Amino acid sequence: MASKLERVKADGYTVEATVSSQRLTVLLNGTFDMTAASDLQHFFEGVRAEVLATTPSDLEIDVSSVYYLGSSCIKAFVSLTAALKDAHKRPNLKVITSAGLDWQDRTFAVLARLAPEMVTVERTT
Amino acid sequence: MSFSLPRRLRFIRVEFAPSCGCLGSLVAVVTDFCRNVIEDADVIFAFRMAAFELTENVVKYCTGDRASLEISVNNTVQGAELVLMTQNEATPERLADADERLGAMEAAADPVEHFDHLVQESLNTPTESRLGLGRLRAEADLRVSHEIQGTSIVVQVRRRVLNMAFGDL
């Protein structure tokens, strides 16, 4: 089932979301440098609104096909995590990383430190 | 007989007009340089990340129409090291702010703890992340230093490296 979140397709990256039962899944693909920050921030504001409106039990963000994530885009992840961790019905936020891209675990570990009761980082094979 | 080894074994220096459009080319220069001198994928990625973060800062904050980037392999008494440097002009306010923030970062004993502090701070700054250089220490194990030179700021990141592949040197 498609979510209300509109797919973002730009030169170098895509962001899209799907909903299934109690799970909202966000899939990122490509290189997210400073030129992608505005799109990602805007998309995550939509994700936040969708989560607060529909209260899914799980929010899964798959970054396994992300080849670079700049600090401007890390801030978008940080803002989303901070906004959701105080929500009345906060979801379990799982970040799916690639086993072949070691930097992803180091980068997304900051979210688990920010909200350890809500965020897990899991490697896909 | 005594002799001194050359300090800089290989380098590329680029002068550029800061714009978002040049980011990809600058990152490619740094990444290709690193691939030619070392096989360690972690180190190559660390300097790719550094190239993105440093050049993005230049694009965001440079007030002049010229900036420079240099990637080099240096020979030190402790061994070889890779060094990436950028230089750009900025406003006095921005230079003072960068001097204070970079000084605090360089002095922090625990890079990860300091980065987490920056993350908390970033929640109060809606338009800027200010996380870029902090993550270079926390995530990429790079040493970061800076110097204010008049109206310019020079930022260097470095990492000692083993098993350099010097190719045609």
Which ipTM value was assigned to this complex? 0.91
Q: Do B129 and A74 touch (CB under 8 A)?
A: yes
Q: Kindly indicate the confidence band of residue B163, based on its pLDDT and cuts at 50, 70 and 90.
A: low
Nearest to B123 among A34, A79, A107 (CB): A79
**Is some CB atom of chain B closer than 8 A to the CB atom of A106?**
yes
Q: Tell me: the pLDDT tens digits for B93-150?
A: 999 999 999 999 999 999 999 999 999 999 998 778 889 999 999 999 999 999 999 9
Sign, CA dihedral A70-A75-A81-A84, equals negative
Query: By C-alpha distance, which of B129, B17, B136, B106 is closest to B69?
Result: B17
CATH class of B8-160: alpha beta
Reading chain A (125 residues) residue by residue, the pLDDT tens digits are 556 789 999 999 999 999 988 999 999 999 999 999 999 999 999 999 999 999 999 999 999 999 999 999 999 999 999 999 988 899 999 999 999 999 999 999 999 999 999 999 999 97
Q: Kindly indicate the confidence band of residue B19, based on its pLDDT and cuts at 50, 70 and 90.
A: very high
Q: Do A103 and B53 touch (CB under 8 A)?
A: no
Q: Do B131 and A71 touch (CB under 8 A)?
A: yes
- Chain B residue nearest residue A108, CA to CA: B139
For B36, counting Cβ atoms within 10 Å of its Cβ (0-12 exposed, 13-18 middle, 19+ buried), the class is middle
Give A38→chain B minimum CA distance, Å: 10
* Chain A interface, best mutation among B118, B129, B136, B139, by max A CB count within 10 A: B129
**Per-residue confidence (pLDDT) for residue B168, from 0 to 100:** 43
**Is some CB atom of chain B closer than 8 A to the CB atom of A57?**
no
- B30 vs A125: which has the higher pLDDT: B30
**Per-residue confidence (pLDDT) for residue B169, from 0 to 100:** 45
Share of chain B above pLDDT 70, in %: 92
**Per-residue confidence (pLDDT) for residue A17, from 0 to 100:** 97
The answer to whether the beta carbons of residues B69 and B85 sit under 8 Å apart is: yes
Q: Which residues of B touch A82 (CB under 8 A)?
A: 123
**Separation in Å, CA A108 to CA A89, A101, A124, B112:** 23, 12, 14, 13
Domains in chain A, CATH or no CATH each:
8-124 (3.30.750.24)
Range B42-69 average pLDDT: 95
- Size of the A and B interface in Cβ pairs below 8 Å: 56
**Is some CB atom of chain A closer than 8 A to the CB atom of B119?**
yes
Q: Tell me: the pLDDT tens digits for B149-159?
A: 999 999 999 99
Q: Name the token pair of A70.
A: 């700049």
List chain B domain ranges: 8-160
> Could you give the CA distance from residue B49 to residue B43 in angstroms, rounded to a whole number?
10
Question: What DSSP designation does A91 have?
Answer: P
Asked if residue B13 has pLDDT above 60, the reply is yes
> Could you give the CA distance from residue A76 to residue A2 in angstroms, rounded to a whole number?
22
Share of chain B above pLDDT 90, in %: 79
Range B48-54 average pLDDT: 96
Q: Which residues of A touch B119 (CB under 8 A)?
A: 78, 110, 114
